[in-house]
Structure 1
């Protein structure tokens, strides 16, 4: 899959640097570029890019205002680039929908790493959408393709990756981690095996019969483990915002704004914790395990 990029920066040398990095790293193609925040609105809507790299300070309107206007009208992922070190400005940018913030001067390795992570995040979203479309099609009685043979090798191919993720997030010793894995395995069998739709409570009930544990206990264990994973990631992000594990799991398994909320709680900036989405977490694990 070739990703489409748009670069918005009033410095032509920055636009050329980004273009060269995208080309040389084989990340996709630059379909448009722009030097001011006002013209960028229509250019981005017309170009329909996958990823937009946008400067914070732009003529006409700044990058945050631009993203705020466009975020409900495009499926593009936004990456902000700036010389600013202001944590307040960076937080504001994240709250308005960016996925990553890159400091100038641009570091080639950092930009390539971030673009790869955003591409993986977009693939994850497409994977989740595919699950929804597949289950909806089978639920309505439509015929589909044969089940994937990957289901048969779940233990060999996916288990190590799922448990590595547990280890990276510091929950491998949690009782709920095993239940998360079991639920993920059941969902994988349902979606790729029979093609039927599923509801989490139904999967919990199926697992309950298999392991002779009541549904409420299973659900509580799973939620506690996922909450702990978010807390551990948020602490990691507070210490090292650019940590690879933080960047991978905070966007792949959680809504990033909720991880930011948890970080704000840790820093004493909010009295509210971030919220988890069990279904997104498990489907994210399945995607990462399938890579």
Structure 2
């Protein structure tokens, strides 16, 4: 499921956008704010697929939010909304990274069309990058960290191939897999997931619930990418390698049907199976 952040100074408009996104099943609105600097912090923390932002925000404007986010390496998409008709401002918005500029008052049909198309383009880009990295990871000099052991490097490569690197929750997920498999090596099969969430949370002064949510979102992203690969080509390398090793296949099939039809059971992830499957694959 695509993740969406809304930054807008008008609460009524925020509610309208949230309603449309939920009604049309366009994604999950993970955060909302009316402050530019807060929006930037939320982008850094959550790495959403799409940011819908108004130009006139508190502290810093929408163009500055985009400029700083892009400088930080953010690869998600932006849709700018504004009541201003200044052509120079609009030109700058596109220059700073906006995929689309919508003038107020917003047209509901236009907004739905724009969000659908921007997210569709974004998902196509992610899928292509994920497959390319899976097939050519040995050529990517930034993936292999020479001072880490081969096992951790292999896990990182798999997560890159699944398209979750750079996504909010990636580091939490990596830490979870490594800690979980320390238990496995010690023959502690019934380890507590909550204990691992708490361990990770203590390292960064966060509560265990936040860590769990980050990990679940990251695994959900991986599941979506594998499901999309299966819908595109049932014989794809991504789908063949990961569909049953990381997910309960019946749940993955539900996810594929949901992504294809936009309705029905969304399919569930199994965090323990995913972590154990990644570790087994890292032996190959």
Sort the TM-score into its range (normalised by shorter chain): 0.3 to 0.5
Please, what TM-score do these two structures have when normalized by structure 1?
Answer: 0.46
Structure exhibiting the larger radius of gyration computed from Cα positions = 1
| TM-score (norm: length of structure 2) | 0.47
